[in-house]
Amino acid sequence: MVASSKALDALKAIGLNKYERNLWVALLSRGASTAGELSDISNVPRSRCYDVLESLADRGFIVIQPGKPLRYVAIHPREAMERVKKKISEESVEMTKRIDRLEKSETIKELERLHKDNIKTVQPADLTGALKGRYAMLQQVETMFKNAKKSIKLMTTEAGLAELIDQHSSILKKAAKSGIKIQIAAPVTKKTADIAKELAKYADIRNIADIEHVEKMLGRFYIVDGEEFVIGLTDDIKTHPTQDVAFWTQSSHATENVFDPMFNLVWHHAKPVK
> One digit per residue, pLDDT tens: the chain, 274 residues?
467 888 888 999 888 999 999 999 999 998 899 999 999 989 899 999 999 999 999 888 999 988 888 899 998 999 999 988 888 889 899 999 999 998 898 888 888 777 666 655 545 544 578 888 888 899 999 999 999 999 999 999 888 888 899 899 999 999 999 999 999 999 888 888 999 999 999 999 999 887 765 555 568 889 999 888 898 888 888 888 888 898 888 877 777 888 888 888 888 888 888 7
Identify any residues that bridge with 229 across adjacent strands, giving them in sequence order.
223, 249
Torsions phi, psi of 128, nearest 5? -145, 145
Q: Beta strand 181-186 with 151-155: parallel, antiparallel or unpaired?
A: parallel
Report how far residue 259's alpha carbon sits from residue 231's, in angstroms, rounded to the nearest whole number. Answer: 10
3-state secondary structure the chain: CCCCHHHHHHHHHCCCCHHHHHHHHHHHHHCEEEHHHHHHHHCCCHHHHHHHHHHHHHHCCEEEECCCCCEEEECCHHHHHHHHHHHHHHHHHHHHHHHHHHHCCHHHHHHHHHHHHHHCCCCHHHCEEEEECHHHHHHHHHHHHHHCCCEEEEECCHHHHHHHHHHHHHHHHHHHHCCCEEEEEECCCCCCHHHHHHHCCCCEEEECCCCCCHHHHCCCEEEECCCEEEEECCCCCCCCHHHCEEEEECCHHHHHHHHHHHHHHHHHHCEEEC
All structural domains of the chain: 5-81 (1.10.10.10), 128-273 (3.30.870.10)
**Contact criterion met (CB below 8 Å) for 234 and 245:** yes
Tell me the C-alpha distance between 168 and 182, whole Å: 12
Question: According to the model, what pLDDT value does residue 126 have?
Answer: 47
| 191 to 9, 188, 207, 268: CA distances (angstroms) | 35, 8, 13, 24
Q: How far apart are CA 182 and CA 179, in angstroms?
A: 9
